[in-house]
Amino acid sequence: MKIVPNTGDGRTPVVLVAGLDADAVTRTTTAFLIPGTTVVHHDLSELDLGRVRRTTRTLDADGREQAHQTVLLLEHGCVSCTLRNDLLPLLRQLHRRDSVQRVVLQLDCALEPEALCFAITHAVVADMPGFGDAPASQDVRIEATVACVPEAQWLEAATSDVTMAEYELSATTGDDDERTVAQVAVGQVAFADALVIVGCDPALRDAWESARLTAVLKRLAPSAPIIMEIPQRPMTAILTAHLLAAIPARSRRGRIDEPQDPLLRDQPPLDADCGVELFTVELDRPFHPARLHEAIDELLDGVVSARGRLWLATQPDAALWLESAGGGLRIAPGPTWLVAMSEDQLATVDAERRALAALRWDNNHGDRHSALSILAHRPEQPEAIRTALRGACLTDDEMALGQQFWLGFDDPFGLAHNDPCDDLPRATDSKLTHREDNR
């Protein structure tokens, strides 16, 4: 009988290893490779040739590595479909093998782990002989996501507006991957349960920049244990075991945040450190759409990331969801305000959301409000952002005119909005895009 450790329910644990540095991801993944572990890697470097190479690696009882490679043809030009249709059935098959005690997914540098975790948890795998139709999560469980962070390059990447195609890391054919490097870098770290900082020689390290990077990471992934990999101490199976053991029970382990969830997770530090500060902005007045459009420019410079809900005067029924990384920002439809819901809709709302809404309920506007969490890496940005956002709210005179008057304001925000307006088209496979396309 197969014995699977540390799951409590018989499912096979899965570890995802992600990062922008391919060598670091390979080294970390290899450190997980012990007898009983299967490593799966989908290489996207040949997308322009219409194929993906899948490699599975194992160790036999004598410690000899066995590797098997399969070439997958790209299905109707879609990387997501190709990976989903190959990986999800494979995970279910590996679960049934007595020799497989853990699966480690070595992610291509162009991939964000959140989208894969969503697919593992929710996408139904159908028509597998001998298997009932069900998501892969029936057979496997996300044990952890590990992000590899190149110390010398990560912060520059996470604050840039360079696209993945321009960076020559793409998850599409040709030059169609218009996600920014910042989006991927920030997404990999913010979703991680553990971090491996890939360091340079200590004699060459800039102590200030190293401290600044650590300050950013502790605010993006506050509960994630961190291991520093340096040339004198490469990753080993012992280090990876300690890293997994150090992940707290409250860590997300593949759980996807919803727009109505609390914006601050795991009690991150809210004090400034090395010019880095995580802060919140909460406002009880709606935004004037034109003034907000101008104000969000402040979020495109000196900011690592921002996320949150917006109350727009011209769109009273649903919050807008804002998400930014580096020099790219997206605003898209978010959750419906409770005050705008029907009785049938309200009956489906969980008690926690109801309780949070009740704490700030207004007799006229219900639970409508704006709330953002912003991670800035320049000390002057927090006050500049607060001032800009407050100035974008409706004035006393505008508030007195009422909702029907507000609906007549010019609104530059459509169903989805990207800034810079001309430079950043709709992000490919971003979290919101992924979730809209798969529900």
Q: Tens of pLDDT along 252-299?
A: 999 998 888 889 988 899 999 999 999 999 999 999 999 999 999 999
DSSP 8-state secondary structure symbol assigned to residue 296: G
**SS3 of 182, please?**
helix
Tokens of 25: 């991801």
At residue 321, the pLDDT reads 96
Mean pLDDT for all residues in the chain: 90
Tokens of 111: 């991939």
289 vs 315: CA distance, rounded Å: 9
At residue 174, the pLDDT reads 59
Is the pLDDT score of 232 beyond 90?
no
257 vs 416: CA distance, rounded Å: 19
Is the pLDDT score of 94 beyond 90?
yes
Dump pLDDT digits (tens) for 367-392.
999 999 999 999 999 999 999 999 99
State the pLDDT confidence band at 173, using cuts at 50, 70 and 90: low
At residue 62, the pLDDT reads 83
Q: In the structure, how many helices (H) and strands (E) does the chain have?
A: 14, 16
At residue 76, the pLDDT reads 74
260 vs 200: CA distance, rounded Å: 40
Q: Structural domains in the chain?
A: 12-245 (3.40.50), 277-437 (3.30.1220.10)
pTM higher than 0.85: yes
95 vs 125: CA distance, rounded Å: 14
Tokens of 306: 């921002």
Share of the chain above pLDDT 90, in %: 77
At residue 415, the pLDDT reads 56
Between β-strands 226-229 and 194-198, what pairing exists: parallel, antiparallel or unpaired? parallel
Dump pLDDT digits (tens) for 27-73.
999 999 999 999 999 999 898 889 999 999 999 888 899 999 999 99
- Cis (ω within 30 of 0) for the bond into 268? no
Share of the chain above pLDDT 70, in %: 92
